[in-house]
A = this chain, B = another copy of it.
Amino acid sequence: MTDVPASHPRYASLRTRDAIVAGVEGGVTSMHGLVAHGRGEAFDYLLGERTRHFARDAIDAAAAMLVTAERPVVSVNGNAAALVPADLVALAAALDAPLEVNIFHASKARERAIREHMLAHGAPDVLMPATNAVLEHIDSNRRFVNPGGIHVADVVFVPLEDGDRCQALVRCGKRVITVDLNPMSRTARTATVTIVDNVTRAMPLLLERVAAWRGDAASCRDLPDAFDNERGLRAAETAIRAG
């Protein structure tokens, strides 16, 4: 754990980093994931570290898309597992959807560590990438998915995803919901619904909207098609540039 004194002005932010550093120490998060987290921190700083209206709109559309999906899947990478494991388990339970491990820097050991970490946070089961099911449109070592999970999903919730993977999922005809603090990233621009927010703030709000729409699924059926992701991204970029 960090040795930063409580008198340090960025104490709270530095303590938050500890969760992701603990993820690395536990074999769950990659070191490259740590760098990506730092990048997100900076965009969050520029956003004022609060959930904006465009994020709330995206969360609402994402919840509607997940509730009305036929075969939703909740994808988990090393950063998401370190930051919001219990919220991901709760989301999968609310949707009756599988959790599936899906990481960028290939490592069997880390895939297993993420699975164990999610089981320890209450997941009844966690799907793993297999070798007999692949995504098209992507280079070899990142194409493996689970044949009963992402491979057959119609909607994939995949926070903090890489641009290539996101693009491949979309090209395979899936609707993709992501959480990404950089509205200019390829992931943000490629996904069907992009929630530009800190995943630790967005998850509780998403769970709340999923619970609300589950009680009233008929009313939200048209919401995903009416959602304009590009408009949301423009609003997010404006907010970041304006401060």
Contact = CB atoms under 8 A, between A and B. Distances in A.
A32 interface: yes
A38 B31 contact: no
What band does the interface of chain A fall in when counting residues whose beta carbon is under 8 Å from B?
A: 35 or more
A51 B112 CA distance: 42
B182 A42 contact: yes
A35 B32 contact: no
A116 interface: no
Interface of A: 2-5, 7-10, 14, 17, 20-21, 24-25, 31-32, 34-43, 45-46, 105-106, 139-141, 163-164, 182, 184, 186, 237, 240-243
Given A8-B164, A237-B243, 14 more contacts: A3-B106, A5-B139, A5-B140, A8-B139, A10-B163, A25-B31, A31-B31, A36-B38, A38-B39, A38-B40, A38-B42, A39-B39, A39-B42, A39-B45
